[in-house]
Amino acid sequence: MTDVIIIGAGPAAVSAALTLRMRGKTVQMLYAGGGALEKAHRVDNYPGMPRISGKDMLDIMHRQAVEAGAEMKKAVVQLVQPGKKKVTVLAGNEIFTCKTLLIATGAPRKIGIDGEADLLGQGVSYCATCDGMFYKGKSVAVIGSFEEAVEDTAFLCDIAAKVAYFPEAAHDLETLDKRAEKMTQKVLSMEKKQEQVLLRTEDGELMYDGVFVLRPAVALSQLVPKLETAGGKIVTDEDGATNIPRVYAAGDATGLPYQIGKAVGEGNRAALRMARDMAAMEEGGQ
């Protein structure tokens, strides 16, 4: 068990990781990709780093985090399960545990297709490795938006009788398994129909036994059930503590302004609070 898991590797996450390392805490960062900063062509308002691209800034930050002793692992976190004595985190096919968790997942956005959340576990899955075997000899649709979805499709092609791949966002499809049918239509909504999942697309309706939705992002309500949000952003106190004990948040995830300086400041403040709370937990024998 690590002291802290941080979801994300943007400015808020790195800032928190550095401070937590300075407080002697073990830190595991789990991140899906580059986040908002990677998209910034040029940043001119962050002190000490003039005329720098977002990508270069992020590279420097990541190097600094690793040099400070934080562990960085590329993995999409699917589910956080807070408990009385620890927090359990499901990422890809792995399970991690920690004493405290920081959510630094960036700006809130609408994630998901109409009907998707209602069918989770009832024909819709977010994990090919976990649930692929349920579809042996059956038909599945993959709604994918990044390279790992393409990789997982090959695994599903080994199991299922029929696989259709619906690209949800632009990504490299060069290595898509030849056994998968590449679809061009956009999926608009889904619903359960006679033990199958009906996908409503721009061009009509299609039925599959199962649907795998493989994205580098997860809706907050699904990531941390019962987490208090308002207008999509995570509600915290002035130190970044959420309504769930052991769970904290920082950066764009807590709302405007979407700025590096604000993300770094909140990451730092949450880290100090987490270190304080962990000390109190230890004193209290938790």
Binding site for ligand FAD (CB under 6 A): 7-13, 30-33, 35-37, 39-40, 43, 45-46, 76-77, 104-106, 217-218, 223, 251-253, 258-261, 263
Q: Are strands 187-193 and 196-201 parallel, antiparallel or unpaired?
A: antiparallel
In angstroms, the Cα distances linking 93 to 29, 77, 79, 126 are 16, 10, 11, 11
Q: Which amino acid type is present at position 72?
A: M
Residue for token digits 């399970």?
95
CA pair distance 227, 30, nearest whole angstrom: 19
Closest separation between CB of residue 281 and ligand FAD, Å? 25
CA pair distance 167, 155, nearest whole angstrom: 17
In the bound state with ligand FAD, the residue whose beta carbon lies nearer, of 10 and 167, is 10
Q: Which amino acid type is present at position 264?
A: V
Instruction: Read off the DSSP letter of residue 107.
Output: S
Closest separation between CB of residue 127 and ligand FAD, Å? 13
In the bound state with ligand FAD, the residue whose beta carbon lies nearer, of 8 and 210, is 8
In the bound state with ligand FAD, the residue whose beta carbon lies nearer, of 52 and 281, is 52
In the bound state with ligand FAD, the residue whose beta carbon lies nearer, of 95 and 280, is 95
Closest separation between CB of residue 181 and ligand FAD, Å? 28
In the bound state with ligand FAD, the residue whose beta carbon lies nearer, of 50 and 83, is 50
In the bound state with ligand FAD, the residue whose beta carbon lies nearer, of 46 and 155, is 46
DSSP for 185-220, written as a single string: SPEEEEEEETTEEEEEETTEEEEESEEEEE-S---H
In the bound state with ligand FAD, the residue whose beta carbon lies nearer, of 68 and 281, is 68
Closest separation between CB of residue 241 and ligand FAD, Å? 17
Query: What is the SS3 assignment for 247?
Result: strand
Closest separation between CB of residue 194 and ligand FAD, Å? 33
Phi, psi of 94 (to 5 degrees): -115, 155
Instruction: Read off the DSSP letter of residue 253.
Output: G
Query: What is the SS3 assignment for 3?
Result: strand
In the bound state with ligand FAD, the residue whose beta carbon lies nearer, of 180 and 263, is 263
Closest CA to 33 of 9, 62, 5, 7: 9
Direct distance between the N- and C-terminal alpha carbons of the chain, in angstroms, rounded to an integer: 14
Count CB atoms within 10 A of the CB of residue 55.
14
